[in-house]
Amino acid sequence: MITPMDIHNKTFSRGLRGYSQEEVDAFLQELASDYERIYREHREMEEEMDTVKTKLRNYEKMESTMSSTLVMAQETAENVKRNAQKEAELAVREAQNEAHHIISDAEAARRKLNTDLLKTEGDVKIYIEKILANFKSAMALIESAKNTPEPQIVKAPEGQNEEMELPIEALDDRSADLFEGEVKADTAEAETDEAEDETQQAVSEI
């Protein structure tokens, strides 16, 4: 490529009736000035082009880096999403299993409680029946004691200070009957009191 210096240093041979030296020099000077300006602008454009190319390469590198980063970020996001979904599913399964165990334990406890309650009700029923039987026995003893005839007291005729003498056997029989009646009455009363206490205790426990 011709440079402005080549134009300045260019010489021509002289011939007969050749061009005017002054005009040729003036034209070459003007041409050299214009070409120098164009040449300088061309160099500046080339430098700018190099700068643009450098920036473009940098942008391409940045774009590649950003693309790689974006792809990596997308992959990371997908991994995080998958892991979170797996953890959530695992947590749900564990919660369901725990709830199932709790429900099973509660159902077993309820069945045991019902069994214990039925057993307790049966025991209470038997206990009450026993108390009622004792109470009926005591009432029967009381009725029996009430129906036992009281001993007759024989008064001596007026004017006599001594009691009428009864045979020894009659006195023994009457004393025995009287003692037996008193014992039955005391026993029946004690059993009645005991039956009432047991009844009140059973009712309070119910």
pLDDT in tens, 42-52: 889 999 999 99
Question: Would you state the pLDDT for residue 39?
Answer: 84
How far, in Å, CA of 113 to CA of 105, rounded?
A: 12
pLDDT in tens, 74-131: 999 999 999 999 999 999 999 999 999 999 999 999 999 999 998 898 889 999 999 9
Question: Would you state the pLDDT for residue 174?
Answer: 47
Tokens for 156, please give them. 């001596």
Q: If pLDDT is split at 50, 70 and 90, which confidence band does 168 have?
A: very low
pLDDT in tens, 15-49: 666 667 777 778 778 888 888 888 888 889 999 99
How far, in Å, CA of 150 to CA of 144, rounded?
A: 12
> Is the full-model pTM beyond 0.75?
no
Map residue 148 onto helix, strand or coil. Answer: coil
How far, in Å, CA of 134 to CA of 201, rounded?
A: 15
Which range among 35-39, 60-64, 86-90, 179-183 shows the weakest confidence by mean pLDDT? 179-183
Q: Average pLDDT, whole number, for the chain?
A: 76
Residue 42 CA: distances (Å) to CA of 46, 157, 192? 6, 178, 136
Tokens for 64, please give them. 């590649």
Decide: 145 and 181 in contact? Cβ < 8 Å: yes
